[in-house]
Amino acid sequence: MAKNITPRSNDYSQWYLDIIKEAQLAEHSPVRGCMVIKPTGYALWENMRDVLDKMFKDTGHQNAYFPLFIPKSFLSKEAQHVEGFAKECAVITHSRLINSENGVDVDPDSKLEEELIVRPTSETIIWDTYRNWVQSHRDLPILINQWANVVRWEMRTRLFLRTMEFLWQEGHTAHATEEEAIAETKQMLEVYRTFAEDYMAMPVITGVKTESERFAGALETYCIEALMQDGKALQAGTSHFLGQNFAKAFDVKFQDKDNTLKYVWATSWGVSTRLIGGLIMTHSDDDGLVLPPKIAPTQVVIVPIWKTDEEQQAVTNYAHDLVDELKKAGIRVKFDGRDQYKPGWKFAQYEVEGVPVRIAVGPRDVQNGKVEIARRDTKTKQIAERASVLEIIHELLTDIQYQLFQTAKSRMENMTSVATSYDEFKRILDEKGGFIYAHWDGTAETEARIKEETKATIRCIPLNQTPEEGTCIYSGNPSKGKVLFARAY
């Protein structure tokens, strides 16, 4: 157990913050509710971004960039949208400062003719732009993604999970038909599921949000829901079928093949740096961060051990030869030759930072043609022949990725229950937590009462489940099927 990390069993929230601090992922900024993402944390985000970016491009999308500032009038054009974000908007009212006795003050003569909103999301300004891009069916589909930052004026924040400013990607697509738009929405949900499970080693449940949990302005919101080690759910990604709401609000029409003028159909979808929070809480332990090899910034670290200058030269040459071999094989490897830190300190730090595999090389290893290999997840070690290192590293990285997913999947399955009565539902929530499948009568009133009384929400109506009529656990009224409940972040 790392001395500066609070055990999960003592205080899970503090454990989470300690992991972020000790692994040097991020820190609080001078601006309340915002964060500084440190190089290690940003390298992790870059790896996640690069994988997702390729997946987006492989499905036909292109990147673009739209302004950070949105005219206030744009948000009022789609009623549900503005209602959903009105309380989270940062508003710019003036354009300059003037010197004063206090240092600087806002120049009262610089008041903007129309206030600007710092983007909480980009639907409005993008759909105003699409109006100029779309005239004919030949202009469709538009498949655009944007990597950007957004601002949502949150009152209660937590690093990565909920901050006032965060990094994300937001896809915005325009289609000629409803069927194409729905297919796009589902396709991007599958992209997110694949990324979460195959790269983050984080199992998820796919489903549809209830009306009260939908994205503001959407007709349907599809989601991936993950379960953290403390039994709380995390919404890890969303894909929205927007129908024609934004096309009508911003008058985006096209001339179809039959020469009739029609409104386009829309989608939007996004994931954010919140995924880093999900990654921490899915895999990490009381000794620090644990990272899946596929997205770890450093997959292998080599730590040399020596006492004399002669030993240093021999060990360094031996290690650099190994570094070159691993790099040529496409493995992200780091050699830590700093002599101001002792090997034991380095071992402890790389364990906290979650590097999947550590190799130690000393003078005796050089003489015997061997190395010591340790894996982060199980903390097991082995002595390996130098000639076999590349093969062993490939096998280890593959196995670590697989085992992390299997461990998380087994935990999710063990923490998933079925409740047939409201009393049983409440007992499971308090004693075990996790996902709970239960019947719901489909009304917003019942959903709201359960949330108010238990703090549990309907995370989603799971996809691909067999229809099963029953009785709502709360009202006793007929139910068309089970939904997935949990307390959530």
pLDDT of 80: 82
Q: What is the pTM of this model?
A: 0.95
pLDDT surpassing 90 at residue 257: yes
pLDDT surpassing 80 at residue 328: yes
Per-residue pLDDT of 282-308, as tens digits, reads 999 999 999 999 999 999 999 999 999
Q: Name the amino acid, one letter, at 130.
A: Y
pLDDT of 1: 61
Q: Which domains does the chain show, CATH number per domain?
A: 12-71+123-283 (3.30.930.10), 300-404 (3.40.50.800), 416-486 (3.30.110.30)
DSSP 139: G
3-state SS, residue 164:
coil
Contact at 8 Å (CB) between 451 and 421? no
Q: What is the CA radius of gyration of the chain?
A: 26
Per-residue pLDDT of 35-71, as tens digits, reads 999 999 999 999 999 999 999 999 999 999 999 999 9
pLDDT classification of 3: cutoffs 50, 70, 90 = confident
Exposure b/e, 221-251, CB count within 10 A at least 16 = b:
bbbbbbbbbbbbbbbbbbbbbbbbbbbebbe
Per-residue pLDDT of 81-111, as tens digits, reads 878 888 999 999 999 999 998 899 999 999 9
H-run or E-run covering 216: none
Mean pLDDT taken over the chain: 96
Question: Mean pLDDT over residues 449-477, rounded?
Answer: 96
Contact at 8 Å (CB) between 354 and 284? yes
Look-up: residue for tokens 């979808």?
269
pLDDT over 70 percentage in the chain: 100
Per-residue pLDDT of 409-425, as tens digits, reads 999 999 999 999 999 99
Q: Is there a cis peptide before residue 141, judged by omega within 30 degrees of 0? A: yes
pLDDT over 90 percentage in the chain: 94
Question: Mean pLDDT over residues 6-18, rounded?
Answer: 97
pLDDT classification of 467: cutoffs 50, 70, 90 = confident
Strands of 457-462's sheet, edge to edge?
62-63, 142-151, 165-175, 265-272, 233-243, 220-227, 205-208, 457-462, 482-486, 435-439, 416-418
Exposure b/e, 463-483, CB count within 10 A at least 16 = b:
eeeeeeeeebbbbeeebebbb
pLDDT classification of 465: cutoffs 50, 70, 90 = confident
pLDDT of 464: 86
Per-residue pLDDT of 160-179, as tens digits, reads 999 999 999 999 999 999 99
